[in-house]
Structure 1
Amino acid sequence: MKRHHSEISLSEVHQSVDTTRIQKSRWRRILAFFGPAYLVSVGYMDPGNWATDLAGGSQFGYSLLWVLLMSNIMALLLQSLSARLGIVRNRDLAQANRETYPKYINFALYILAEIAIAATDLAEILGMAIGLQLLTGMPLIYGVLITALDTFLLMALQRLGIRKLEAFIIGLIFIIAMSFLIQIIVAKPDAGEIVSGFVPHIENDTALYIAIGIIGATVMPHNLYLHSALVQTRKFKTDAAGIKKALKLNFIDSAVALNMAFLVNAAILILAATVFFKTGRSDVGEIKQAYELLPQHLGSGIAAKLFAVALIAAGQSSTVTGTLAGQIVMEGYLRLRINPIVRRLITRLIAIVPAALVILINGEEDVDRLLIFSQVVLSMQLGFAIIPLIHFVSDKKTMGQFAIKPWLKVASWLITVVLVYLNAWMVAEEISGYFQSPGNIFWKILIVIGLLLIIVLLYYTIVLPFKKTTPPKNITIHDEPQTLQIAPISRYRKIAITLDFGDQDEKVINHALAQGSPDCTYLLIHITESVAGTANYTESVDNETLTDSKYLNQYVQQLTAAGYKAEARLGFGKTAQSIANIVQSSGCDLLVIGAHGHKGIKDFIYGETINNLRHLVNIPVLVVQG
């Protein structure tokens, strides 16, 4: 874990896709921009959307298709604003918030963003677990636990680069799309009735409630953080023409990707309308129920299997992008970077624990309620991502000529008011039902306090940027350096050298000799890795220990003959800890160690001595590459 002072978002892949290289053809340069929106689009087809689509289709047929279309238009506009922020200001949404709002507001926004990511992850875990159960018959709790393993899949994909990660996600989207295309072909819906579903109308209050649920599940808060960072993975010309071109191509990318997400959601609703609504099964609103009934109505078990496969793909693709959003939020708000695998495990555990507890305590029947709860939690976070975003892209001081036009600003605020109102209404409906039940006074008081704090925070989020008279602080620039006190450190007087009796020893020793003062003492260290040695038998007399001691003393004799002061120490036990103990107890002021250059799986097999060791010693460490 370390403080992150980089000026850029997702620094390990920032501008890693060069769209300016002359040797590329025009079409390849254009296609190089495409990709970020596909990672964003999976959030619009994640398992959390499936329940609302199934309920809408089974209860009201095709009549709510227009709601899906309207939600998609809203999402496209908001995602284009997010991309604009990243392209023009070279900031993700979390960084821009940190530059604009005071610390206490930023901390609250950070907590809410983390809650939103955990809620998203919860829906993805449940979706994948349900998909695995439907496909294999395994208990749901096992499926929940298996989802923890995708942490390692993400790590492998990130090592391959952003384009490989995008290709993987696009592959999963293709699987989802093909699965539903086949199911739609088997179901044979009436094209005329589908078209009629795009005429806006609401039949009753229940339809209104489901429509709100569809809208609320469409725009994910973490996607706005994600998109503003992902567009920065493209390197393009930063003059006015280059920025204008990047904005245009990223809009096309967003339009294609989000329309694909719309088609998937529409396919789920159309499938439910054709298979369930038209056969009188208007009670289907749960994923497992839909899976069980599909073979009965379509006359084929393949459709149900494809349904489960698509569910697993949707959960897996969404969980990968959720991790990236978590990294962006933590680095942007806290300027804190931790090991990505640790970050992934933390996010996953936050989501797995409640899912596992609900299943273990109440059984699998409450899983759909937990899925709905995750969407309610997401709904409460939405305004805190959209409102700052509109402020930022409207600001002519920071956006210049690329600030959004007045008509687009009006449309954005109108969409925000509608989304915040509808989500607030849905949350109020959920909470009112809870308050009508007896008991639970303590939790009811906490809910009231939480809602009041959210209202206050929403007020400050809206008002503060309007009141701000001072220019925004730039949190990505390092503090101004102090005047240097030039005083060279004296040459080292005792240098520890780690050796393994290999080809690299000569190079390591020679580098160490170049660092020492004339009266320097060189401490040669080797860690015995025999069974007896690793058991901490420091007086061990096994063959390996005796041989290691002999070789180490040979090195000492050669250095002494050349006029250097040299000592030898054998260590035992864990390599990094043993070296650190010898270095600290011997009073050394520099450690020289050789690096073998292995990485990836070899690090796992052979260990990461240097990475561990540098945290265990408080002296400089010189790493000599092999």
Structure 2
Amino acid sequence: MSIAYLDPGNIESDLQSGVMAKYKLIWVLLLAHVLGLVLQRNSARLGVVAGKDVAQIAHEYYPRAPRIILWIMVEIAIIGSDMQEVIGTATSIYLLTNGFIPLWAGVLLTILDTFSFMFLEKYGVRKFEAFFCLLMAVMAGTFGYQFFAASPDTGLLFKGMFLPWCEGCGEQQLLQAVSIIGAVIMPHNLYLHSALVKSRKIDRTQRHRVSEANKYNFIESGIALFCSFIINVFVMSVFAQTFSGKTNNELRNTCYNTSNGMPDFYKDVFPANDDLAESDIYEAGVFLGCTFGVASLYIWAVGILASGQASTMTGTYAGQFAMEGFLQISLPRWKRILITRSLAIAPTLVVTIFADGIESLSGLNDLLNCVMMLQLPFALLPVLTFISDRRIMGCFRASLALKIFSIICSLGVVAINLFFAFSYVQDNFGFRAISIPIVAIVGVFYLLYIAYLFVYAFIGGGLFMPSQNSKFFPPPNYSLFSLPWEDDKQCKITYF
């Protein structure tokens, strides 16, 4: 679960935030992780209490048509995340080989390495989790090395972490702050977490055992996300200290310094002009190598490779659970990997072959962050609906305070996402007369479906009203949910 907070899309968002706003947006990163912990807690709690994951419950909860739309939205989020992982892995291979393995070949290699890692699962869940911990340790070591090499200003770091303000920031920094939230909180991760907790042995016949499992899952999630937050802070701080405010000519001159040992292949990465330098995963690696020596380039590439490999497997698992839950179809894992990885590789391969250089992948990453943000409500709202339903959660249903908090967060996320999407499309594509009707139609359907899920949360989910038997909001099949220890007379709703 924590790996999804450290995928290549997150790493790129971190470094761009450091470049654009220095330390001023670290508090947004902290807020995103705290919000993510609350949302992951909801997801894990649902899996523990109900004994089913979000996709399985959605299959029994929603009517057929809305359920299929929801599954399609989840799959789009998974494919978008998978594409970011492919981009990160291919870029790291490109850096490690000094361009000897071209991007298109690195993209193709990602379909093979996933299969090679997935066989580790047959040695047991705990050993598989230990392997993920090893990958996180690699990221902590590589990005931590860059952190201590850059020696960031700790005073400004902690000020930026705990002072919720961005003095002197403009629209670009505002959009970057929004992008942090979209990059950190991944929609498919909520589906994944509710399924992962089922790997734990829990005696669901006793309420106190379920309560105990909820407590330890929360502690485990808190520790995992704390580690993810520290690694993200490492990345943001490094580029806030060393990269921010630099021009392309300054970085170009640094790369032409022969003492850093950088191959000639990288010396013309930054153009010869006085514009403020922009950075992506590739340019960030080149910058680190030019500034701190060629070893930093390869250390950075190893960290990105670990990030891409770990998050690749989380996407694979999320896709498997989503398909099995929504469609009640169980495919062999190798087939599922082949399908999802092919869907992610095809557009990425097209971009790498026909686009103008590796810089095009950064633009694709920004587009994918926008797509992921637009899919987030389709994970937030179902989880909110399910954890609020007494017949699914019993005494463990969400308290009134949590319901209100979750609704406010959901509305805020939807508004932020729409603002970011509008700004992104306007800045990168513009609004032509022919495109306005298309955007308007898609936007209307998007908002109507979100509104439907909100209404279902109130009526079908029983947030404040009992379930209503209507054509558009039929009652779920509650006979499939069992709470053997439930006794409403002794029920006291507590969240933590």
Q: Normalized against structure 2, the TM-score is what?
A: 0.84
CA distance in 1, matches of 2:139, 2:178: 24
Q: Among 220, 223, 226, which residue is 2:189 paired with?
A: 223
| Shift in Å, 1:437 | 5.6
Q: Among 160, 173, 178, which residue is 2:141 paired with?
A: 178
Cα deviation 1:363-414 (Å, max 9, x = unaligned): 3231111111111111111001101111111122321111122222222222
CA distance in 2, matches of 1:96, 1:230: 15
Aligned ranges 1:154-169 → 2 under 5 Å: 154-169=117-132
Contact 2:381 2:457 in 1 (8 A): no
Aligned-partner residue type, residue 103 of structure 1: R
Q: Give the equivalent residue in structure 1 for 2:447.
A: 455
Cα deviation 1:120-161 (Å, max 9, x = unaligned): 000000000001101112211111010010232243123222
Q: Give the equivalent residue in structure 2 for 1:430.
A: 424
CA distance in 1, matches of 2:146, 2:448: 47
**C-alpha spacing 1:449/1:160, structure 2 compared with 1 (3 Å):** farther
CA distance in 2, matches of 1:181, 1:61: 18
Aligned ranges 1:111-510 → 2 under 5 Å: 111-136=72-97, 137=99, 138-198=101-161, 199-202=163-166, 203-238=169-204, 239-277=206-244, 283-298=277-292, 300-364=293-357, 365-433=359-427, 436=430, 441=434, 445-468=437-460, 469-470=468-469, 471-473=475-477
Matched length:
435
Task: Please state which structure has a larger fraction of its residues in strand.
Answer: 1
**C-alpha spacing 1:156/1:117, structure 2 compared with 1 (3 Å):** same
Contact 1:276 1:284 in 2 (8 A): no
| Shift in Å, 1:455 | 1.4
| Shift in Å, 1:451 | 2.3
**C-alpha spacing 1:323/1:64, structure 2 compared with 1 (3 Å):** same
| Shift in Å, 1:49 | 1.2
| Shift in Å, 1:245 | 0.7
CA distance in 2, matches of 1:347, 1:179: 29
Aligned-partner residue type, residue 84 of structure 1: R
CA distance in 2, matches of 1:446, 1:153: 43
Q: Give the equivalent residue in structure 2 for 1:91.
A: 52
Q: Which moved more, 1:182-191 or 1:219-228?
A: 182-191
Aligned-partner residue type, residue 388 of structure 2: S
Q: Which moved more, 1:223-232 or 1:47-56?
A: 47-56
**C-alpha spacing 1:172/1:51, structure 2 compared with 1 (3 Å):** same
Q: Normalized against structure 1, the TM-score is what?
A: 0.67
| Shift in Å, 1:109 | 0.3
CA distance in 2, matches of 1:304, 1:475: 57
Q: Among 12, 16, 30, which residue is 1:55 paired with?
A: 16
Aligned-partner residue type, residue 234 of structure 1: R
| Shift in Å, 1:446 | 4.4
Q: Structure 1 stretches of 5 or more lacking a match?
A: 1-39, 478-626
CA distance in 1, matches of 2:132, 2:399: 33
CA distance in 2, matches of 1:475, 1:109: 23
| Shift in Å, 1:449 | 3.1
| Shift in Å, 1:475 | 8.6
**C-alpha spacing 1:437/1:459, structure 2 compared with 1 (3 Å):** closer
**C-alpha spacing 1:196/1:431, structure 2 compared with 1 (3 Å):** same
Q: Which moved more, 1:67-76 or 1:190-199?
A: 190-199
Cα deviation 1:228-252 (Å, max 9, x = unaligned): 0000111122211101110110001
Contact 2:246 2:277 in 1 (8 A): no
Contact 2:59 2:67 in 1 (8 A): yes
**RMSD of aligned C-alpha atoms?**
1.8
Contact 1:98 1:475 in 2 (8 A): no
Cα deviation 1:302-335 (Å, max 9, x = unaligned): 2221111010100000010111100110010000
Q: Which moved more, 1:375-384 or 1:456-465?
A: 456-465
CA distance in 2, matches of 1:446, 1:278: 39
| Shift in Å, 1:165 | 1.7
Contact 2:56 2:325 in 1 (8 A): yes
Q: Which moved more, 1:406-415 or 1:240-249?
A: 406-415
Q: Which moved more, 1:466-475 or 1:302-311?
A: 466-475
CA distance in 1, matches of 2:25, 2:377: 24
Q: Structure 2 stretches of 5 or more lacking a match?
A: 252-275, 461-467, 470-474, 482-496
CA distance in 1, matches of 2:213, 2:61: 25
Q: Give the equivalent residue in structure 1 for 2:41.
A: 80
| Shift in Å, 1:112 | 0.6
Q: Give the equivalent residue in structure 2 for 1:556.
A: none
Contact 1:175 1:313 in 2 (8 A): yes
Q: Give the equivalent residue in structure 2 for 1:9.
A: none
Q: Residue 363 of structure 1 aligns to a residue in which SS?
A: coil
Cα deviation 1:517-572 (Å, max 9, x = unaligned): xxxxxxxxxxxxxxxxxxxxxxxxxxxxxxxxxxxxxxxxxxxxxxxxxxxxxxxx
Contact 2:25 2:160 in 1 (8 A): yes
Q: Calculate percent identity across the aligned residue pairs.
A: 37
Greater radius of gyration (CA) = 1
Q: Which moved more, 1:75-84 or 1:230-239?
A: 230-239
Cα deviation 1:37-96 (Å, max 9, x = unaligned): xxx111111011122211110122111110100000010000000000000111111111
Aligned-partner residue type, residue 317 of structure 2: L
**C-alpha spacing 1:396/1:59, structure 2 compared with 1 (3 Å):** same
CA distance in 2, matches of 1:432, 1:296: 35
Contact 2:245 2:277 in 1 (8 A): no
| Shift in Å, 1:190 | 1.8
Q: Residue 376 of structure 2 aligns to a residue in which SS?
A: helix
CA distance in 1, matches of 2:128, 2:277: 39
CA distance in 2, matches of 1:363, 1:59: 24
CA distance in 1, matches of 2:242, 2:318: 36
| Shift in Å, 1:462 | 1.1
Contact 1:77 1:412 in 2 (8 A): no
Aligned-partner residue type, residue 364 of structure 2: L
Aligned-partner residue type, residue 232 of structure 2: N
